[in-house]
Structure 1
Amino acid sequence: MAVKTFTADADWVVGLEAQCDVGYRTVAYTGSLGGGTLRIWTQVADGGGLTPVADSKLSAGTVDGNGDVVQQLTFQSSGSITVKLTGSTNPNAVVSVQ
């Protein structure tokens, strides 16, 4: 598992490959995104560009059927993982990728 605290907009090169034995990865956060959006990107090994993972945005506006804020998601992809926080104001969020 990899963990990082975001206190400003930033790109985090996680150091994990998206493809793993169980077939999926999970990203989760606690705290405040400061009104920003957290998104997962991957990059293939041959040096291709960063590509956003489909349906991988988390923000305070992302809610479940009960109206609760969604703070984790699972995804399937390949390549190295980067997590980006954009559009935030004074965030304080601990983000983990497992």
Structure 2
Amino acid sequence: MTVPGAGGVIITSWRKTKRFHKDYDRLPLDLRDRVDLKLQDLTRPLRPAGLIFEKLKGYTSPDIYSFHVTGNYKVTLEIADGCALLRRVADHDEINRAP
């Protein structure tokens, strides 16, 4: 959902898929902490510059977005009515295979 004049996509809440939970549980504790911090940043009105948020090309039904947790790890999500459905958290190669 984009809001004209508001600077892009607005996210007010999120939900997690079973697949996200499975991916998250496999992460080392320090990476889980980074994911948690990035999720807090996701719902802020002004997102920090370090949260590289982008729409994935080729996915239009539904639109899939991603943001970086580290240089190699990403989270993918869908957005509907301000709610983000968190799909995956994995390394860059895995996200490219199955977002």
The two structures share one fold, judged by TM-score above 0.5: no
* TM-score range for the pair, normalised by the shorter chain length: under 0.3
Q: TM-score, normalised by structure 1?
A: 0.26
Q: Per residue, is there more helix in 1 or in 2? A: 2
Q: TM-score, normalised by structure 2?
A: 0.26
Q: Per residue, is there more strand in 1 or in 2? A: 1
